[in-house]
Amino acid sequence: MKLIHTIAELRAELGKYQRPAFVPTMGNLHEGHIALVKQAKPLGDVTVVSIFVNRLQFLPHEDFGTYPRTLEADCAKLEAAGCDLVFAPGEQDLYPEPQGYKVTPPTELADILEGHFRPGFFTGVCTVVLKLFNCVQPRVALFGAKDYQQQMVIRRMVAQLALPIEIVTGATLRADDGLALSSRNGYLSPAERAEAVQLSRTLKGMIVALQNGERNVAAIEQHAMKTLADRGWHPDYLTVRRRHDLQPPQAGDFGRNALVVLGAARLGSTRLIDNLEV
């Protein structure tokens, strides 16, 4: 496995291949990332993982400065998973000057849910992902389903900008108790870690309500928000949405595999997100 830091070196190395399969990450890798890398391997003739903590997608009060940078450990895991190339540019390599040109995704998809609570987040994500796509020129790129809205925003960017890249979504990996694997789980204290599973349990409770015929979505959402708030969480949203556009469901959307429940909530100082398709 080769570790590469500059765009020039990456281009020289990738010249030998026709069909890169690409997994973009911010490092601090867990089993969910590794599963994506293993899924990527048979999809291309070279497997490329990028590791770059992207300043553009963090709000000023968020954890850009403290986000764990664990390159050595990440590389060991990637090598064991069969990754061929790790592209780990420094800030100066990817943003040698302030990034004035940005990709602004459409508001109806990118300014709701995560984008509402993290304004500018998807502009930061799309900008870096497009730039990474231009560096790697992959045939296929893989994103985790835990970031449900992110993979939708990227899928639509690729379609609207006619990028010749297939987007594959990898299933969310969960710990034994059901907590979705996330780099940010490492911030949780032992007590918070034990509590953290309540996010997926609450989402499951929302699904059960829908399956039992409840059609008052606002009531389901309020009950879920209160359930977590009563346990000491600070929920941003727990919501029932349509899978295809993340808008609130209409009467005809119930009972035909068209919905997803999504949640984001802070436990202590750690913000967790999760989702489950109904």
The pair of structure tokens assigned to 76 is 């060991």
Dig out the tokens for 23 from the structure. 């997994």
30 classed as catalytic: no
Q: Is the Cβ–Cβ distance between 68 and 27 less than 8 Å? A: yes
**Contact between 54 and ligand PAF per CB under 6 A:** yes
C-beta of 49: minimal distance to ligand PAF in Å?
10
Helix segments in 89-197, DSSP class H:
91-94, 107-110, 114-117, 121-136, 148-160, 190-196
Q: To the nearest whole angstrom, how small is the minimum distance from the Cβ of residue 26 to ligand PAF?
A: 4
Cα first-last separation, the chain: 40
Of the listed pieces 63-71, 86-94, 123-131, 234-242, which binds ligand PAF according to CB under 6 A? 123-131
Find the binder of ligand PAF among 125, 210, 224, 240 (CB under 6 A): 125
Decide: 185 and 68 in contact? Cβ < 8 Å: no
Work out whether 151 is an interface residue with ligand PAF (CB under 6 A): no
Binding mask 168-197 for ligand PAF (x = CB under 6 A): ------------------------------
Owner of token pair 């069909």: 19
Q: Return d(Cα 224, Cα 267) in angstroms, integer.
A: 15
Count of residues touching ligand PAF (by CB under 6 A): 10
* Closer of 128 and 224 to ligand PAF (Cβ): 128
Q: Which of residues 147 and 253 has its CB atom nearest to ligand PAF in the complex? A: 147
Rounded least distance, CB 52 to ligand PAF, Å: 7
For residue 269, count other CB atoms closer than 10 A to its CB.
11
Among 18, 26, 46, residue whose Cα is nearest residue 164: 18
Pick from 114, 147, 236, 253: which binds ligand PAF (CB under 6 A)?
147
Q: Of these residues, 5, 30, 33, 116, which one is catalytic?
A: 33
Segment 24 to 43, residues that bind ligand PAF, using CB under 6 A: 24-26
Which residue, 69 or 215, is less far from ligand PAF as judged by CB? 69
Among 128, 141, 173, 264, binds ligand PAF (CB under 6 A): 128
Which pair of tokens denotes residue 255? 């009972």
Burial of 240-267, coded b for 16+ CB within 10 Å and e otherwise, reads bbebeebeebeeebbeeebbbbbbbbeb
For the bound state, the minimum distance from the C-beta of residue 24 to ligand PAF, rounded and expressed in Å, comes to 4
Q: Which residues bind ligand PAF (CB under 6 A)?
A: 24-26, 54, 57, 125, 128-129, 147, 150
Which residues are catalytically annotated?
33
